[in-house]
Structures are given as C-alpha cells and as structure tokens.
Structure 1
Amino acid sequence: MMKEKRIYYGWYIVIFASIIVLLSMGMRMGIGPFIHPIMEDLKLSRTEISLIVSVGMIFYGVGMPLAGILLKAFNTRIVLLIGLTTVCLSIVWTVYAKGMVSFLLSYGVLLSIGLAFLSSITLSPIVSKWFVRQRGKALFYLTTGGMAGLAVMTPVETWLIDLVGWQNTLLVFGGVFICIVLPSALFIMHEDVPEEADGPGAVVGKERPAAPADLTWKDALKTITYWKIVFGLFACGFGMNLLGSHGVPMLMDHHFAPMTASLGVGLIGIVAIFGSLFLAQLADRFPRKYILFLVYVVRGLGFFGLVYSAANWQLFLVSFIGGLAWSGSVAMSTAILGDLYGVRLLGILNGLAYFIGHQVGAAIGSFLGGWGYEVFGTHIISFSAAGILALLASFASITLPQNLSFSKQVFGVKQREGSSVSK
C-alpha cells in the first residue's frame, strides 16, 4: 500500500502568512475609501488628512526595522502578537479619536507601526527558513498576498463604509485581524524547521552557499551589494507610490476619461496577482538577479509608456505588460538578501532596506508627483524620473554577485585563515 504523501508544512505557513499580509497591506495602502468620511466627521482639511497619510507612511517604514530587531531578540510568534495588540488598541483609539492630533497619533502613528509588525518584513524570515531551494517561489506567493490586499480590500472597505460607517468598518477589520492573526501566531508559525527544508522530494531550485555564521548586520551594511538592493527598493517605492497617488490624475490630465484612467491603473494591480504567480515558477530556476533585472526593466519602460500613452489600447497594453512584473521586486530583493546574508539577519536587514529604500522613495515619489506638476505643469518629469530610477535599479541588480563569500578584510578586521573573498 502506497504511503500517503503529505503536504509540506511550510506551505501552510505561506498560506497563513499571505492572508496576514493581505490584511495588513490592504489596510495600510487602501486608505482611499476612508478619506472623505474621515474628513467630514473630524472636520479635517485635505492638507491635514494628507499630512496624516504621509506620517503614517513614514511610521509604517519605521516599524519595519523595529520588527526586525524584535525578530532577532524573540521570534515570529511574539512579533505577530505585539503587532496584533498594537493594531487592536490603535483601532479602538482611532474610533474614539477627536481632532487632528488624536487621529494622527492613533491612525497615523500607532496603527502604522502595528501593521508594519504584521507585514512581510516579519513573515519573510520564517518563510525563508522553511524554504531553501524553493525560497523564491514561496516569497513570491507571500507577495501575492500583498497584491491581493490592494485589489480586494479597497472595494470591501468601500462597501462596508457605505453599509456601517468608517468607524464600524475599522472595528470589523479589527475582529478579522484577531480571528486570523491570533490562531496563526499561536498554532501555525513554528520556528523548528526539519532538516530536510522544502519538504521530502522537493527538486525545484538549486542549493545555494550559506552565509558566514559570524556575519553581523553591521558587516552587511558595509557591503556595496546591500546598498544596491536598497537602491532598487528606493526605485520601487518611488514608482509604486507615484503611480498610486498621481497615476489616475495624470491620465485624466492627458485627456483620458476618469473611468478609463481608473481601469488602466487598476489593471496593473489585477495583472500583478497573476504575474507574481507566473514569476514564482521561475524564481528558483534561474539566477534571482536576472529576474530582478527583468522586473525593473519592464517597470521602467512601463512608466514611460504610461505617461506617453495617447489611446485607450495603448494604456491598457502598457498596464497589462507592466502588471506582469509589478510585484516582483520586493520578493526577489528579499530572497537575494536571505541568500547572501543569511536568514538569521533577514528580518533586520530587510526592515532597514524597506524603510531606508522603499518608504523614503515612496514619500519622495508621492511629493514629487504633485510638486512637479504644480511647478512645471507636466507629469513627464516625475514619471520619467520613476522610469529612469527603475532602469538604473535594473543595472544595479544585474551587477549583484550570484554567490557572496565574505572576507574579514572587507570589513576592516583581520582575515581569518581560510576565509574567502567577495566575488
């Protein structure tokens, strides 16, 4: 009698981690439906609510290296529980907030930090521990949760706000977070990985050299390779948030109908879900830097295509092609960090890279999109800047070492006998 083949436990971790990322990304990035009702109830101006959103973006980034530090000190379960507690407390505070300062602290600061603790920064290390030869695929599936969050949460939030109001909508999502995150943290997120990572019989992907056991995060920060990855994430954050904040207004200014402009931008997110599933099948079969290079090239050309589109078919074609590679940069950057520097340091290195690179780029991109149009009367400058940054990021990616061995002399410390040199 044939022995029943069991599903590798790591895939359960990927499923629940993806759902958590769907919720956290959808809540953080899907603020659009909340804007008008919050402005009306709290008597906030558009400038004030924009300031709160910007502050939230920064503290979302600040929370990521904090999550990485806590991961290094404790474990995934503890960080998830801290994040869940912070999110629930901030939601209750937000519901009863009166005035700008109270809302800024509760929604802009505390909720953003809590959601950062429930983001892919916390969950990527445990996924990377459970997968070695299929690490790229697993991380792409985790990214798919983020893309699905952007696509799913916005219409759900809009429907719930119309039905029960924005305060009760937040409370509903607080309950959903409890129902998903609490059992995931207590019963699913196990750190004790079996010796045969990826599961018995896994043949996809290749074995990769392990990072030195004595490497520190300070050592990693002194390598050019790390800052190439950070630059790529800067280009990613710049472009993604420029498109999210100013994509529809730009297309409308270029004489597209409002619905056409919305569909054009929305198509990128929808295609990105399927694009990430497709790229996941390639992530472990080819050198990761080549996939990251391809993602940035397609994205860079896509920004030029969007700003110069003149007909509906051109817009939808550019959106479709761009969406195929829209979600790959974060997954591949995370996988490369794990490969080169080790899973042990992935939480803090990924958190710092996301904050310094992605979130700083996001803030600058969002600002430049509005400021550039007001000063120069055109969107070409900001969208061309996004395209150029993505193409430069593609060059930085293709020059990444495929295998990285560390010499102590790289970090100004006497080299140990037998240690190897960076390639």
Structure 2
Amino acid sequence: MSRNQLKGRWYFGWNIVAVCAVLTLLTVGTRLGIGPFVKPILNDLGMDRTALSVIIAISMLVYGIGMPLAGRLLDWFGTRTVLLIGVGLVVLSIIWTYFSHDVLSFAIAYGGLLSLGLSFTSPVTVTPVVSRWFTQQRGKALFYLATGSMAGIAIMTPIFTMFITLVGWRNTLLLLAGIFIVIAVPSAIFVIRDEVPEGGDALPGNQRSSSRTKGQEPVVLSSWTEALKTRPFWQVAFGLFVCGFSMNLLGSHGVPMLTDHHFSNVTASFGVGIIGIVAVISTVFLGSVADRISRRNMLGLIYFVRGLGFLGLVLVIAPWQLYLVAVIGGLVWAGSSALSSAILGDIYGVRWLGILYGWAYFIHQIGGAIGSFLGGWSYEHFGTHLVAYGITTVLLILASVVSLQIPSQLNLPKKQDSFFKVTL
C-alpha cells in the first residue's frame, strides 16, 4: 500500500486536533474552572468577593491581551515554542501562587502571570496549526477542537472541587502544574508540527466537497483594518463579547451562586459539569452540520437558547431542575467561537482571519472581565445573583438578534460607504 493511501486511511492532522483539544481542555478548564476556588481563596486570603472579582476581571484582560502577543510569537518561533513558553509560565505562576499569602502577590501570580501563560496555550495558539493542516475539512476539525473547551468545563470543575476538598486549593494547583508538564510538553515536542505535507487533507479518503455557494466569494481587503470599518466585524465581535461575558460569569460565579442557593458543592459542580459533558456531544453534532445550514442562523439560535439557560440556572431550586437546565444549556454551549471565526472567514477571506479573530477574541475577553466582575460586585451590593444573570440573559438574546442580521457576504462598491453598504 502506498504512503498516500496510508495517509488517506488515517491523516496525521487528526492527531494534532486530538492533542490540541486536550491542551484546550486544560487551558479553558483552568481559566473557566475558578468557581470551586472562590470560597477557599476568600477564606484563606481574607478577601471579599468584589476584590477577588477585580482580580479575576484583570486576569481575563491579561488572558485576552496575551493572545495577540502569542499570535506574533507564532510568526517568529512557531507553535511548538510558544506552547512550551506557555507551559513554563503556567508552572512558574502556580508555584508563585502556592507560596502567596497576601493579596498583591496572589493577584500578580494567579491573576497576571498564570493568565499570560494560559493565553500561550489557548485556542488562539493552536487554531492556526489546525487550520493549516485542514483545508477540505477545516470546519469539522475546528469544531472538534472546540470539544476541548467544552470538556474543560465538564471535567475540570468537578475535579477541582474534589481535590480542593481532599488536599486544599494550593495543592490542587500544584497537581495542575504537574498535569500541564506531563501532557503539554510531550505533545508540543512530538506531535505538534507546523509543516504540512503536500496536499494536506486533500489526500484520498480525506476529501470533502466545499459547501460555499458559487458567487459568494469573500471580499478582498487591502488591509485588515478595513474590516474594522464594516458592520459585520462588529456584529460578530458583539456576539463574542456577550459570549465571554456569559461564559466567564458562569465559570467564576456559577458554583458559588448555586451554593449560595443552598445546593451542595458536589451538586453545584456536577450541575455545571453537565453543561460541558452535553456540550462535547453537541459540538460533534454541530461540526457535522455546520457546513449545511446558515452559520448566522445557527449562531443566533445558540445565543438565544443559552440566554434562556442562564435565566433558568439562577431560578432553579431543586437538583433535578438544575440538571435539566444544564442539559438544555449544554446543547447550545458550544460552537459560538468556531462559528464566529468561520463567519469572519466567509466574509473577509482567510488572509486576515487570524488577526481579525484575534482582536475579536480580545473583545470576548473584555466581556469576560466585565462578567466576572459583575458577578461578585452585584451580589455584594444587591444581595442577589438575579441581577447579573438577568443582565446576561438580556445580552444573549440581543446577541441572537444581532447575529441573525450578519450578512452572508459583503459588497463594497465604494470605500467611503463600506460601513453602510452591506449585501444580505
């Protein structure tokens, strides 16, 4: 059997997708799995929720700022080096956090350095290498990559809760550092490859027909900054802002909110974990249909149902209600980031996709910072979580409406009219 035929049976790019999904699981699970740490950290360091929420908000911004920096380093040094730098920063920051006993030291180590390291191991770092390895099945590969984010929520939150109960929050972080070393270092050295074989996934057995409709070619821009003058970019960016707002509110304050509503730590963590478990399954399904139906319609539906899910989470009073809402929310928890990057590529082309998606994801992190802060601040000032979760519901429904208005292509007959002349 020839080499090409063997590659056709199993394409090495899928190995890269698998290890990148695991790296994403660790990264996103750590970033969004802070909920179980909140009360132990508050008790240990003597902070109030507003102070910790400020630290979390700053960490979200550092996480977002680090992504364009990681993208620049990718151009200079490649994926493998950036990932190894990220792992080094994560391990160093965790050791520093372990020995931190004052608020300032904790804020620098956990809120700053850890977030910078995680931005170097984030989806923004591994998405380009996956995209290079896949042309015929890029959408499917990116959706499968997104299962790592969903699994991170499902797996890391209950695991953190269990180990914090057994060994404390500081030792749990040390175990996390060891896991990063054991998994990320060998993956970066032995699996991650920036060099793509000739033909890529167009080899026999890997080909898929393109779903793009004839005549719907992306607009050609002379500079990525021109996209900032058009409405579709900001429509996508607004959706990602709300996505970051909602996901980080749940990641930072979901478990504390549920325990404040008299759910046990185990029940609360399991309820949040169910969202990720169901999301992994739904991501696989969404990946299989992503090229068959309108991306904007799918994105609008995801935001709308997710909004109802957030309202349900803050209103549930029994475990079965929590689990039911978590299942429904998990069905639409996945796909917003993958769909957003795909829509940007459809409209503007792949030449500027990396930098446009990077800045859009930075806006996602601004939303994350605000959502993380609002969750703690509003509870201390109003004595209820309904304010933060109610605002999130309204924003998600608004994001659904905005997403449905995103055009399938852009028509720029005159440069000065680029912001207004959009062909639906």
TM tier relative to shorter chain = 0.7 to 0.9
Q: Measured at CA, do residues 197 and 404 of structure 1 come closer, stay the same or move farther in structure 2, by a change above 3 Å?
A: farther
CA distance in 2, matches of 1:273, 1:14: 15
Q: Measured at CA, do residues 421 and 72 of structure 1 come closer, stay the same or move farther in structure 2, by a change above 3 Å?
A: farther
Q: Counterpart in 1 of 2:355?
A: 348
Q: Counterpart in 2 of 1:180?
A: 183
Q: Is the 8 A contact 2:158 2:270 kept in 1?
A: no
Q: Counterpart in 2 of 1:86?
A: 89
> Is structure 2 residue 8 aligned with structure 1 residue 10?
no
Aligned runs of 1:20-419 on 2, under 5 Å? 20-35=23-38, 38=41, 48-161=51-164, 166-194=169-197, 196-200=199-203, 201=205, 202-203=207-208, 205-207=210-212, 211=218, 215-248=222-255, 263-309=270-316, 313-356=320-363, 358-373=364-379, 375=381, 378-404=384-410, 409=415
CA distance in 2, matches of 1:373, 1:325: 27
- Offset at residue 319 of structure 1 (A): 2.4
Q: Is the 8 A contact 1:71 1:79 kept in 2?
A: yes
Q: Measured at CA, do residues 13 and 340 of structure 1 come closer, stay the same or move farther in structure 2, by a change above 3 Å?
A: farther
CA distance in 1, matches of 2:259, 2:96: 37
**Which AA in structure 2 matches 1:116?**
S
Matched residue count: 415
- Offset at residue 69 of structure 1 (A): 3.0
CA distance in 2, matches of 1:169, 1:255: 25
**Which AA in structure 1 matches 2:329?**
G
State the Cα deviation string for residues 185-235 of structure 1 (Å, max 9, x = none).
334332333454434242265257665676433222222111111100111
- The farther-off stretch of 158-167 and 52-61 is 158-167
SS in 2 for 1:368: helix
Q: Measured at CA, do residues 367 and 220 of structure 1 come closer, stay the same or move farther in structure 2, by a change above 3 Å?
A: same
- The farther-off stretch of 111-120 and 54-63 is 54-63
Q: Is the 8 A contact 2:45 2:103 kept in 1?
A: yes
CA distance in 2, matches of 1:161, 1:313: 25
Q: Measured at CA, do residues 181 and 219 of structure 1 come closer, stay the same or move farther in structure 2, by a change above 3 Å?
A: farther
**Which AA in structure 2 matches 1:384?**
G
SS in 2 for 1:193: coil
CA distance in 2, matches of 1:18, 1:242: 23
SS in 1 for 2:140: helix
- Offset at residue 46 of structure 1 (A): 5.2
- Offset at residue 97 of structure 1 (A): 3.5
Q: Measured at CA, do residues 226 and 382 of structure 1 come closer, stay the same or move farther in structure 2, by a change above 3 Å?
A: same
CA distance in 2, matches of 1:176, 1:263: 22
Q: Measured at CA, do residues 233 and 96 of structure 1 come closer, stay the same or move farther in structure 2, by a change above 3 Å?
A: same
TM-score normalised to the size of structure 2?
0.84
Q: Measured at CA, do residues 408 and 73 of structure 1 come closer, stay the same or move farther in structure 2, by a change above 3 Å?
A: farther
- Offset at residue 139 of structure 1 (A): 1.6
CA distance in 2, matches of 1:255, 1:98: 30
Q: Measured at CA, do residues 394 and 37 of structure 1 come closer, stay the same or move farther in structure 2, by a change above 3 Å?
A: closer
State the Cα deviation string for residues 218-264 of structure 1 (Å, max 9, x = none).
22222211111110011112222333344456556767777655554
- The farther-off stretch of 37-46 and 228-237 is 37-46
CA distance in 1, matches of 2:413, 2:189: 40
Q: Measured at CA, do residues 98 and 79 of structure 1 come closer, stay the same or move farther in structure 2, by a change above 3 Å?
A: same
Q: Is the 8 A contact 1:18 1:143 kept in 2?
A: yes
Q: Measured at CA, do residues 175 and 297 of structure 1 come closer, stay the same or move farther in structure 2, by a change above 3 Å?
A: same
Q: Measured at CA, do residues 71 and 218 of structure 1 come closer, stay the same or move farther in structure 2, by a change above 3 Å?
A: farther
SS in 1 for 2:9: coil
RMSD: 3.4
Q: Is the 8 A contact 1:122 1:347 kept in 2?
A: no
**Which AA in structure 2 matches 1:270?**
I
Query: Which segments of 5 or more consecutive residues in structure 2 lack a partner in the other structure?
Result: none
Q: Is the 8 A contact 2:274 2:323 kept in 1?
A: yes
State the Cα deviation string for residues 21-45 of structure 1 (Å, max 9, x = none).
1111122222344445555665656
Q: Is the 8 A contact 2:133 2:196 kept in 1?
A: yes
TM-score normalised to the size of structure 1?
0.84
- The farther-off stretch of 199-208 and 253-262 is 253-262
- Offset at residue 333 of structure 1 (A): 1.2
